[in-house]
Structure 1
């Protein structure tokens, strides 16, 4: 004799079975709509490619500016590490006194390396930097004093300024030059560029929404009769909206892939002049790239913008469609 399950258990199993069936149908419909929307894009390759290219350009400009600023930040870090203090001694200081001051400077804990330059060596370096060859050799008297080039441990502007003020107060020191002012200007320009890049990112993000929205709007209008028919037989707005959302996501993803390709080509094009500029300042620097993390973020944002642009366009036009 078999026992039948209680009604409550049978009802729970039935409800669970219905939920599983609905979930499976929902998954199958999403998969079918994703494949169908991709096929529709591939049926019109030229139009789809132009739309994706417009999205790629809109994404590439702020991303390229951000990469350029990242290059400047990397160059800034390289140049800052090579920042120095130049301590000029009084013209009356002889070689013995200059060596004593040099030893006092070396003894400071914040100093990692120093170099004492005498008057003759300083004159030779001046000739080489100005390209005057032996023009200055005929001077009756060498006007240059002893100098000490100091490489500090901490190259932050505040610490270097405090170190320069300390050296300036030492006996026999005439002047201390801080070779970091132009680096600070570079940092200020970089900060301005960051804000410009953020503003352009927002503006071009809105541009992606408009591009995808206009494309999806035309697709909705071309399938207006089909939409009216499925709405007459009871289709919900979510059901009708789904294929267009996938179309927008495909547009965004394709635009993101094209943007990565264009950024890669642009990076290769700019690599040589940027490296040459860095080497002219004595820095070893290479062009940065988005990398795996940055590429993933770019693709995610482009897909999200495409999906959001499609959602806005379809939602607006579905409210105006009245099936008859």
Structure 2
């Protein structure tokens, strides 16, 4: 008579499928995302102040970035306004002036030319200075014909070389080129770029410090909870995850507040800036962040918040030992 083998009892090992692990990993990420947001909502005042500090640290670099954007537009207009004025000899008539203009336009470094006759030059001079009555009695026109030359390259070295070439042409009396103001504007633009980069780095470090200090306090307040979960086998990545999401939420909130502050500042300053530009006979409006700029600002603030939380949690987890 055969006997039934006794059933085996005890612990059994079971391999978890990769798909199950991925689903559990995704569920935990969703849970931590919602839980970290809920913890911020439960203490709105203190967390709002933290986000406001982040926003203030982001506003100044963003405002300088907008200023540099407007400076780049000004630099594009500068390239269009970079011209040379070729003054022809007094004895050159209109026919000869047309031939000289064709010779100037044939130069490979010249993009476009405009011939101003002596009569047109006198008319523009009278209109600019308002001396119509005072110049009526002149017997002869003292102004020569001139050619306004737009070079292909606004670089000072290229314009200087073109000025020398045009000055050696027959019938040309003088070539006027003012490079000092172009150089000053280029130096100011470079200074602005370096200043914006330096401030962006400094205020980015400020955001890291604000988020890191806030997360450090959160880690200390949940120290007992962290010791318990680490005692039952939780990894550092598991413990770090909710704090990383908290840091990211701080970054998102600070970025949104920074966008709001930039919009309010733009509306507040737009009217006096427009009035100041109109007093100089120009039209200028303050630049605003477009969709791409807003996305970059939010992405940078979120990344800084996440990085600050990661640094703070990693530093404090190394000092926590479950007992």
Instruction: Report the TM-score when normalising by structure 2.
Output: 0.81
Q: Secondary structure at the match of 1:15?
A: coil
Residue in structure 2 matched with residue 168 of structure 1 by the alignment? 167
Corresponding position of 2:221: 222
Aligned residues: 310
Give the drift of 1:38: 0.2
Deviation at 1:27, TM superposition (A): 1.9
Deviates most, 176-185 or 74-83? 176-185
Structure-2 residue corresponding to 1:82 = 81
Shift of 1:281: 8.9
What is the deviation of 1:129? 3.2
8 Å Cα contact 1:79/1:281 also seen in 2: no
2:6 corresponds in structure 1 to none
Q: Which residue of 2 aligns with 1:15?
A: 15
Does the CA-based 8 Å contact 1:168-1:176 persist in structure 2? yes
Alignment-derived partner of residue 150 in structure 2: 151
Unaligned residue ranges in structure 2 (runs of 5+)? 1-13
Measured in 1, the distance between the counterparts of 2:67 and 2:284 equals 13
Unaligned runs of 5+ in 1: 1-13
Query: For structure 1, which segment, 303-312 or 150-159, has the greater mean C-alpha deviation from structure 2 after superposition?
Result: 150-159
CA deviation after TM superposition for structure 1 residue 285, in Å: 7.6
Shift of 1:159: 3.7
- Indicate if the aligned counterparts of 1:279 and 1:285 stay in contact, CA closer than 8 A: no
Residues 278 and 314 from structure 1, CA distance in 2 versus in 1: closer, same or farther, beyond 3 angstroms?
A: farther
- 2:43 maps to what in 1? 44
Q: Is the 8 A contact 1:89 1:145 kept in 2?
A: yes
CA gap of 1:28–1:37, structure 2 versus 1, over 3 A, is same
**Which residue number corresponds to residue 8 of structure 1?**
none
Cα distance, 1:36 vs structure 2: 0.7
The two structures, once aligned, show a CA RMSD in angstroms of 3.3
Is 1:61–2:33 an aligned residue pair? no
The structure whose residues are more often helix, as a share, is 1
Aligned residue in 2 for 1:6: none
Change (3 A) 1:203 1:189: same
Q: What are the Cα deviations for residues 232-251 of structure 1, in whole angstroms up to 9, with x where unaligned?
A: 44433332222111110100
